[in-house]
Structure 1
C-alpha cells in the first residue's frame, strides 16, 4: 500500500512476485536459512578468538583473516548446514506448489505429482530412488571426508 501512496504503483498494478521462480527462491530461502544458520553459529561459538587475534598480529587484513582462519575453522558447520538444507530442499513440494502456483516443477513436486495426480507410481518411485541415492551419496562423501580430516588431525575416529 505505501507504494501506491507514494505514486510508485498504479492502483491496478501489482509487483508480480507470485507464481514466479523468484517467489519460490525467496520462500525456500526464508524456510531454510534458520536451518543453515544454527550449525554455523555452533561452529562460530566454538571458534578460538585467540587465532583471530594472532592473525591480526601477523598483519593479516580482514579478508585474509576471514579466508585463512575463520572459514577453515568453521568448515564443519558450513558443510553440516549445507547437508541439513540440501536434504529437505530436494524434497520440497509445498513451497513450489504454493508460491509457484503449480506451474513450476521441482524434483519434490515432480515425485508428488507422479504419485498423487498422474498415478504413475513406477516413474515416481524411480525419481524418488534417484533422489535417495543422491542424498546417500552426499552423506557417504561427507562421512569419508570427516573421517579423513579427523585422522589427519590426530583424532581417533572409529567406525
Structure 2
C-alpha cells in the first residue's frame, strides 16, 4: 500500500499525458509503419499483403528528384535562417533582460496571426499587379511586371517567414547563456573580434546552432501548405507528395512509406543533436 502511495503522484501527473501520447502519437505512428509494408487495390483500398515495393518505389527518378529538391530547399531555408537569425539573436541577447523580452515579443507578434493569412499576403505581394512589381516599375528597375508566384524562390520566402522564429529562439537561448568573461579574456589576449567569434563564440553556442538547424530543417522538409499556396501545384516537395498520396491518389501504403522516411530523417537529426548539443536548449521553444 505504501508503494502504491509513493507511485500515485507520478501516475497522476504523468499518466494522462502518457495515455494521450500512446493513443494519438505512438499508435498512429505504428499504424503508419504497418501500412507502409502493405499494398493497395485498384480502388485505393489497403490490401494486407506484405511487400517492400513501396520503399523500392522511392528510388524511381521522379520521386528521388522530389526528395532531393525538398532537401535542397530545406537546406537553403535553414542556412538563410541561421545567417539572419544568429545576428538577430546575438543582438537581442546583448540587451538587458527587459529589453530582450520585448524584442523577442516583437519577433513573435507576427506569428499570432494565422500562417495562411501571412502566406496569402505574400501571394498578393508577388502577383504581377502586386506591391513589389509596382515599386520596381516606379523605380524603373523593370519594364514589365514579373510573376514571382509559382516558383522555388517564393516558396523559400514563405518557408523563411514561417521558420524564422524557430531559428531565433534556440540561438538566443544559447547565446544568452554565453559566459561573457571568456570573450573578454580572448580580447585581453590579443585576439581580433573575428577570431574571437569563430574560436570562442561559435563553439560555445554550437548547441543553439544545431538546435536551430534541427527546428528549421525538419519542418521545412515536411511542410506542404507553403508550396501548396505559393507554388500553385508547380513546386512539388515531399510534404506535398505525401499529402497527394493520401488525399488524391489514395495510395496510402506509398504515402506511409514516405512519411516513415521523414520520421527516419527526424530521428537521424535528433541523434546528431544529442551528440553535439543538449536538449535543454530547446526548452525555450
Distance, in Å, in 2 between the alignment partners of 1:108 and 1:116 is: 12
Which runs of 5 or more structure 1 residues have no equivalent in the other structure? 148-159
2:135 matches 1:5: no
Q: Give the structure-2-normalised TM-score.
A: 0.48
Residue 106 of structure 1 corresponds to: 237
Compute the TM-score of the two structures, normalised by the length of structure 1.
Answer: 0.84
Partner of 2:151: 20
Contact 2:211/2:277, CA 8 A, preserved across alignment: no
User: In structure 2, do the counterparts of structure 1 residues 19 and 115 end up closer, same or farther at CA, with 3 Å as the change threshold?
Assistant: same
Work out which of the two has the higher radius of gyration on C-alpha atoms and give 1 or 2.
2
> Contact conserved, 2:137 with 2:145, CA < 8 A, in 1?
no
The structure, 1 or 2, with the larger RCO (C-alpha pairs under 8 Å, 6+ apart) is: 2
Partner residue, 1:94: 225
Matching of residue 128 in structure 1 with residue 263 in structure 2: no
Q: Shift of residue 113 of structure 1?
A: 0.9
Kindly report structure 1 stretches of 4+ aligned residues shifted beyond 4 Å: none
Question: 2:250 and 2:226 mapped to 1: Cα distance?
Answer: 22
**Residue deviations 1:53-81 (CA, integer Å, cap 9, x gap):** 11111111121111000001100111112
Number of aligned positions between the proteins: 145
Bigger shift: residues 138-147 or 54-63: 138-147
CA deviation string 1:137-157 (max 9, x = no partner): 22123224448xxxxxxxxxx
Trace 1:66-85 onto structure 2 (pairs within 5 A): 66-85=197-216
- Please report how far the alpha carbon of residue 112 of structure 1 lies from its aligned counterpart in structure 2 after TM superposition: 0.5
Structure 1 distance, partners of 2:212, 2:277, is 14
